[in-house]
Amino acid sequence: MKIRFLIVIVMMSMISIPVMGGNIVNANMDVGFGNVNITATGFDSSTWHPGSIGQQNQLMATGGFIGTYSVNQGNYGSLNSYVNLNSYPGGADFVFQDYQDFNVLSANHTNNVEGTFYARAAGNNDQVAMNLKSVGSMYVWSEATNPYSAPSLQGNYIAKEVTTKKDGILKTDLGLSVSTDGLATMSNSNIWGWTNGETGTSSTNYSGGIRNVTATGSGQLVQFGLGTNSLTYNADYVLPGGGSATGGIVSFNNGLNGTYSMSAN
């Protein structure tokens, strides 16, 4: 159809200081069983919005895992953040969230647009992975796979979602998730991936390329999109073991592979 366990509890909270170009988070984690919660905040140190938050992200990791999370601050409260996490045999749950205020990030533009990004990878084995880069700039924010050769997200459950609000009202919302009793993976042919823009645009395909999703086992894929002005929604999935598709919900019996692309305004 086509369509070493050591019981460790770790709690961390980090807030940046208003400096440009500095490393504000540098976390090396090796957790046998426990949780880590780190929040990094980028403050504007310019004369445009002094002390205002341009970008903020949060990493939450639970279970057994090893990896790193580092954050550098750029201009106008922007952040460059890097997440590389892998689970131990008992499994883990990784969540990364990012917030962007483009009035602050763009210095002197007043489109009144805020963006959010959400990513999650979870599972009960040693194959859960999250390898993301989150980069804010004056007019656009984007996530990327880092390093390029690694899976962006991998696990029994994986998900990404981007949204924008203009004047406090939801303008765009794009999302995709896969849950399976096997293993699901998201990857990019181009290193860059999901993105938000300062005028209230969102896309899964920043800088072009193909976005792939694969899964083994049986489960369900959910894909959705919202654009108040326009929406481009493409999905091309192969279900070698059969299944069904209704709207944006695809149920598969023995694996799934394919491509997707969405953009909204």
pLDDT at 33 over 50: yes
Is the Cβ–Cβ distance between 89 and 78 less than 8 Å? no
pLDDT at 187 over 80: yes
Is the Cβ–Cβ distance between 54 and 40 less than 8 Å? no
- What percentage of the chain's residues is helix, strand, coil (to nearest 5)? 5, 65, 30
Q: 3-class DSSP state for residue 256?
A: strand
Per-residue tokens: 18: 């208003």
Domain of residue 161 covers 23-264
Domain count, the chain: 1
Q: 3-class DSSP state for residue 18?
A: coil
**175 band by pLDDT with thresholds 50, 70 and 90:** very high
Residue predicted with more confidence, 3 or 171: 171
Given this model, what pLDDT does residue 188 score?
86
Average pLDDT over residues 71-82: 96
**15 band by pLDDT with thresholds 50, 70 and 90:** very low
- The distance from CA 120 to its chain's CA centroid, rounded to whole angstroms, is 7
31 domain-assigned: yes
8 domain-assigned: no
User: How many CA within 13 A on the CB side of residue 152?
Assistant: 26
2 domain-assigned: no
Characterize 221-232 residue by residue with b for buried, 16 or more Cβ atoms within 10 angstroms of its Cβ, and e for exposed. bebebbbeeebe
In the chain, the percentage of residues whose pLDDT exceeds 90 is 88
Given this model, what pLDDT does residue 21 score?
53
14 domain-assigned: no
Is the Cβ–Cβ distance between 107 and 48 less than 8 Å? yes
Given this model, what pLDDT does residue 22 score?
77
